[in-house]
Amino acid sequence: MSKIDNIYKNGDFNHLPFSFNEEVTQVFEDMIERSVPGYISSLKITEEITTKLFQKDSNFYDLGCSLGAVTHQVSDIVRTKNGNILAVDNSEAMIDSCKSRIKDSHISFILDDITKIEIENASVVSLNFVIQFLEPSVRLNFLKGIFKGLKKGGALLLSEKFSFDSNKEEETVSRIHHSFKLANGYSELEVSRKRDALEGVLISQSQAENEGLLYESGFSEIRKVMKNLNFVTFMAIKL
Ligand SMILES: C[S@@+](CC[C@H](N)C(=O)[O-])C[C@H]1O[C@@H](n2cnc3c(N)ncnc32)[C@H](O)[C@@H]1O
């Protein structure tokens, strides 16, 4: 059970940029549920799509797995089809926590940089709010590697925070997202401290830029399957 996220509440926060360290790992479940509208739905949609598209004897990749919420959601489906889950994160605290909580022979938790691993024999790949933390310049090559490692008929599920081209729209939607976080119990001060910590760490791109990256990587069938405020989920199929 995750602890309540009080990291930015009191004087005990550090002024460093945001990172997925031990402190964040301990409260991560609470943090993401209170900060990302539609997070739980993104897990359920991943489950639905995995039920339809996961192929027998193939691999499911949960890239940037954090505490393994996606892995947990699809575990039974993958096991039934004799598949394996490779859940990868470069945060030692996150991977250690996954390893101590989820033990199943068809799941491997791997401490590594997702841009350095080879994707192979995959029928579903999940990137649930992850590439926003990668340098924009490496995103295209990384997605090309995923496309290459997917089997025909396989899918990449890409969920991202996105930015708007129009400042007016950005302001309006950001204001609603701000209220969403306040309604979930964060104070103005916490929201503003976290925003400062994420500056330069979370780099969002527009919906069109994300779609463009998917097309350029080789995907030709791309569907927007969910959108909540400034968060979007695409399903990209390898035909
Ligand atoms: C917002 S969290 C992802 C949430 C998770 N997918 C879920 O659905 O609960 C982003 C994760 O990506 C990981 N991450 C960021 N850059 C990474 C990289 N280059 N290689 C591996 N993991 C990375 C972070 O450590 C963090 O755990």
Q: Which tens digits make up the pLDDT trace of 21-63? A: 999 999 999 999 999 999 999 999 999 999 999 999 999 999 9
Which fold is adopted by the domain 39-163+202-237? Rossmann fold (3.40.50)
Within the chain, strands assigned E span 59-63, 84-89, 107-111, 122-128, 150-163, 205-206, 221-228, 231-237
142-160 in b/e form (b: 16+ CB < 10 A) is bbebbbebbbeebbbbbbb
What span, in angstroms and rounded, lies between the C-alpha atoms of 92 and 62? 16
Q: For ligand 1, is residue 89 a contact (CB within 6 Å)?
A: yes
Distance in angstroms between the alpha carbons of the first and the last residue of the chain: 40
Q: At what angle do helices 22-35 and 92-101 cross, to 10 degrees?
A: 80
The pTM of the full predicted model, rounded to 2 decimals, is 0.96
Q: How far apart are CA 212 and CA 136, in angstroms?
A: 13
- Residue 12 is encoded by which pair of tokens? 């005990």
Predicted pLDDT at 48:
98
Mutate to test the pocket of ligand 1, among 31, 66, 97 (most ligand atoms within 8 A of CB): 66
Under 8 Å between Cβ of 99 and 109: yes
Where in the chain are the domains?
A: 39-163+202-237
Q: Which of 13-27, 33-47, 81-95, 112-126 has the lowest mean pLDDT?
A: 13-27
Whether residue 95 has its Cβ less than 6 Å from ligand 1:
no
Which of these, 130, 119, 117, 149, lies nearest to 218 by C-alpha position? 149
Q: How confident is the model at residue 8 (pLDDT cuts 50, 70, 90)?
A: confident
